[in-house]
Amino acid sequence: MSQNPKAKSLAELEDIIAKAIKKVGGSKENDLCKYIPMDSGGYIHHFTLRKMKSKDPSELLGLIKDHIIKADRPRIVAPKQRAPRGSRKRRDQITFTKGQLERLLNLARLSGDKEMISILSPKKSLAAAKRELIQAVRHGIVKQEYWDNYIESVNAHEMVAQATAMEYSGAPASE
């Protein structure tokens, strides 16, 4: 009774894998990955190793023999170079500290630039601005900032309502 060639090669592959694991001092199949280089750089991924085991066992057998079994001292392959964490963040956007934003907002108020004031102002809902203003009046606190926040919230609320009305009427929004 002879085995079919595929079963024989699979048994040979399993035997070679076991020898290779023993040679590198590993405990499982995935421990071999670090010793098998890839063409694209770095070492073979464990999913690729598992896929090659069933799809292309002869190539995997050759790789294991070349890089682990025949080597006097199998060498660990350096991992593939990857982009450092956070490198995909946009670098062209300026970030300001809270103090810097306050100074910019004061400059915008002094120059009377309403667009910049609305962009730089902390966004509060109309209800929150109204509540803050009423609380200040009740406590006898007079601050121009509370009134300005209320006015900006009312204006923003009106602009949103106006834009929504224009959108539903089909007319282009005007500034």
Residue 75 lies in a domain: no
Tell me, yes or no, whether 85 lies in a domain: no
- Number of domains, the chain: 2
Amino acid, res. 88 = R
Residue 29 lies in a domain: yes
Residues 62 and 110 in one domain: no
Residues 105 and 162 in one domain: yes
Q: What does pTM read for this prediction?
A: 0.46
Q: Convert the pLDDT of each residue in 113-172 to its tens digit.
A: 878 877 787 677 888 888 988 999 999 988 887 888 888 788 877 877 787 777 777 655
The encoded tokens of residue 19 equal 């020898």
Quick one: average pLDDT of 43-48?
A: 92
Among the candidates 69, 89, 111, a domain finishes at 69
Do 53 and 112 lie in a common domain?
A: no
Q: Is 93 helix (H, G, I), strand (E, B) or coil?
A: coil
Angle between helices 144-169 and 126-138 (to 10 degrees): 160
Same domain, residue pair 105 and 158: yes
Asked if 52 and 102 sit in the same domain, the reply is no
Within a domain: 111 = yes
The encoded tokens of residue 16 equal 């070679």
Q: What is the domain range of residue 153? A: 98-169
Which residue in 20, 50, 48 sits closest to 35, CA to CA?
A: 20
Query: Each residue of 1-17: pLDDT tens digit?
Result: 456 667 767 888 889 99
**pLDDT at position 36, please?**
92
- Determine, yes or no, domain membership for 20: yes
- State pLDDT tens for residues 129-142: 889 889 999 999 88
Give pLDDT, residue 135.
Answer: 92
Single-letter amino acid code for the residue at 145:
E
Quick check: is 105 in a domain? Answer: yes
Domain assignment present for residue 42? The answer is yes
Residue 93 lies in a domain: no
